[in-house]
Amino acid sequence: MHPHLRSEGLPGFTRPHDVVRAAVPALRPPRRISVSESAEKWRVLKNPGGGYSGHWLNTFAPYLTEPMDAFQRRDVGEVVVLGPAQFGKTEILLNLVVHEAAEGGADLLVFQPTQALALDFAERRVEKAFDASDRLAALLGTARSDDKRMSKLFRNGARVSIGWPVSAQLSSRPVPKVLIDELDSMDDDIDGEGDPVELARARTTTFGRHAKVGVFSTPKRQDGSGIVARYRNGDRRLWHWPCPSCGEYFTPGFDENRRPTLAHLHVRPKATEEEARAEVHMICPISGCIIEERHKIGMNARGVWLPEGATIAADGTLGGEPLRSRVASYWFSGLAARQRSWGDLAAQYISALRALEERQDEEPLRTHWNTRIGAPYRSVLGAAAPLEPEELKKRGEALELRVVPGWAGFVTTAVDVQGNRYDCQSVAWGPDGRSQVVDAWQIFQSEAGDRMLEPARFAEDWDLLTTQVLSRSWRGVEGAEFRSHRVSVDTGDGNVTGNAYAWWHRLPREDQKRVMLLKGDGRRDVPLLSPRKIEMDRRGRRMKRGIIVTHVNVEALKDQVDLKLRMTRPGPGWIHLSANLPARFWEEATAEFRGKKGWEKQRARNESFDLLVYNLAIWHALGGPRLDWARPAEWHKPRAGLLLLDLATSTAPAIVAPPVTARPPVQARPATPGPKTGRWWKPATRPMGRFGRQF
């Protein structure tokens, strides 16, 4: 035997009973225990920052029990759950993971909308759930590779993987159970291969009746697609609870036709947010009984999920002919959620209505319906007929163009870059979002006047924005002179982007601060304004100084502009339009309408509408909704003109020259600079190339 082996010895063999002990969990058949029962047996909640901590209790949110247990029904192949944010969808996902890890033993795949959300779900939710319980942590495999960030292998053989919707993950190895979270935030077509739910279903086909697909989401689409379409494809269950007074069952948040509604909540007309928070209550739609929020826990404890066609009497007797489907679909309203108080919902709803009335901003209302109530928001513009030029022209007022009204505090200008021109529009702004289009013009010819503009081809054409836009001024009714406080320029597509950046770099520093480079974003679920720093040009070269380009949510801004144009009487957000505006303005301002898939053109030319949108983007960037006109800052005081970045009258203040003291005569400097002294320096000499010549 080798001496080293004699001195150190061989490692001991694994004992047979240790091998058997490690293999037993994988050999044990799945226990016949429901998901809700295993949650109470295994889940432990730890919320050190506040909230409930302790063992999972199904009685805390009884409306989650049936959707969880539906995954074990043999007559169900797909489970659909939609509702508001933070009502318990994620807890269902976690309880399903725990069930497979502790009792089931089947592989499970969970998809999140993006890679970042998948990482967040793996780290903050799954790992936190297993760290909260030593018993759960002991279920993980013992090998180092068993506990990865995006994949967990448990001792019973179950593997839980977390991913995001890319074709490579949706169409790879078979798996019996697939869960898709936030479907409405995913694309309908994944890498050209099809719908994410159908791709997930294809991975489960080899498992027969044991295959399950779970789809969860907050409804975000108003066209009836996404999660709402999946719900309608199922048995369409709604949560019913009994009135504490009359005992009759009804569906909170849904009318008799099973459509989402807020009619059950009663708030006194014209109540403030705090008054609504204190006074709100629910009215039973069957008998008109008044229901206080303290009754919510008891009503949820007696609540039941009923499919379409089923009925329930006051004594709990079921009747009717329920809809049959292999898709168990559940729609839950935020009015019944334990975590959301009716007072908060009422106050937030009033705040959203005020934003719509005062700022023509329906985003808070959309957020309220989608994330707090759990229903798709239908835009107030959705059912409105397209606005016609003749209808808008009736709003024309006898106002002089190129004159800033006395109530205005500042002027903004928007520039739309076209293939052969610049379309420009200037808007004066005052308190409460009040505005007036004071100027609209076009720039067609080059500086020399010898050709039409070509902004994508000639960089020098952009200098016209300096001389004819940044330097343009308007007089106020009281003699003040206004210049554009901020100018937005659409950088457009790649044809003009490079010239736009180069022009901005040529501007003096003070004028650069006045220019706001924009790029439209047609997606609905993006921030209203999203400034981004660009440090590389189109050729991948680093620029000397980065440029801020603001991406704007044009869908939301167009909604706001359209609401402003549809106003029937002056008020907050009213746009004053002069009857002397060019004829093209009325055609272009009504060239788009909201269709089923967003804003669509009904006429080719829409520049005036876009310019209203870009001016509104500037107003938001300047903090328009938050400007305090009762105590205005210097730059937005009414009847003040604008000089560069600061509002001031056009009359320059008197400048008192300092006293001049006599200085000794300065000797003339030599014609040829000598060695470096102060600002005078002699260029260093260095060899150039292989010849060693100096320059």
82 within 8 A of 331, measured Cβ to Cβ:
yes
The tens digit of pLDDT for each residue in 103-133 reads 888 899 999 999 999 999 999 999 999 988 8
> d(Cα 69, Cα 33) in Å, to the nearest integer?
10
Q: Region 322-333: what's the mean pLDDT?
A: 95
130 within 8 A of 104, measured Cβ to Cβ:
no
Domains of the chain plus CATH, in order, are: 26-233 (3.40.50.300), 389-517+552-629 (3.30.420.240)
Cα distances from 558 to residues 355, 470, 599, 610, in angstroms, run 16, 25, 8, 8
168-182, 440-454, 660-674: segment of lowest average pLDDT: 660-674
Query: What pLDDT score does 221 carry?
Result: 84
Helix (H, G, I), strand (E, B) or coil at 101: helix
The tens digit of pLDDT for each residue in 16-56 reads 766 556 555 555 666 678 999 999 999 999 887 777 889 99
Query: What pLDDT score does 689 carry?
Result: 37
Please give the helix or strand (H or E) that residue 436 lies within, else none: strand 435-443
User: Is 70 exceeded by the pLDDT of residue 9?
Assistant: no
Task: Give per-residue burial for 101-111: e unless 16+ CB within 10 Å, then b.
Answer: bbbbbbbbbbb
Task: List own/partner pairs for 520-527 with CB under 8 A and 24 or more apart.
Answer: 520/490, 520/551, 520/552, 520/554, 521/551, 521/552, 521/553, 521/554, 522/554, 522/555, 522/598, 523/553, 523/555, 524/220, 524/553, 524/555, 524/556, 524/598, 525/185, 525/220, 526/551, 526/553, 527/553
Residues with Cβ within 8 Å of residue 437, at least 6 apart in sequence:
425, 426, 427, 575, 576, 577, 578, 581, 585, 612
554: left (phi over 0), alpha (psi -120 to 50) or beta: alpha
Number of H helices, E strands in the chain: 22, 35
> d(Cα 289, Cα 244) in Å, to the nearest integer?
9
The tens digit of pLDDT for each residue in 85-95 reads 989 999 999 99
Query: What pLDDT score does 679 carry?
Result: 32
Q: Region 267-284: what's the mean pLDDT?
A: 90
User: Is 80 exceeded by the pLDDT of residue 688?
Assistant: no
274-283, 324-333, 349-358: segment of lowest average pLDDT: 349-358
Length of the chain: 695
> d(Cα 47, Cα 364) in Å, to the nearest integer?
29
> d(Cα 75, Cα 326) in Å, to the nearest integer?
6
Other beta carbons less than 10 A from residue 502's beta carbon? 13
User: Residue 261 forms beta bridges with which residues?
Assistant: none
545 within 8 A of 505, measured Cβ to Cβ:
yes
> d(Cα 391, Cα 690) in Å, to the nearest integer?
77
250 within 8 A of 241, measured Cβ to Cβ:
yes
pLDDT > 70 fraction of the chain, expressed in percent and rounded: 85
Helix axis angle for 554-565 and 607-621, nearest 10°, is 110
Query: What pLDDT score does 341 carry?
Result: 93
Query: Which tokens is 472 given?
Result: 């343009």
Query: What pLDDT score does 42 carry?
Result: 92
Q: What is the band of 678 on the pLDDT scale with cuts at 50, 70, 90?
A: very low
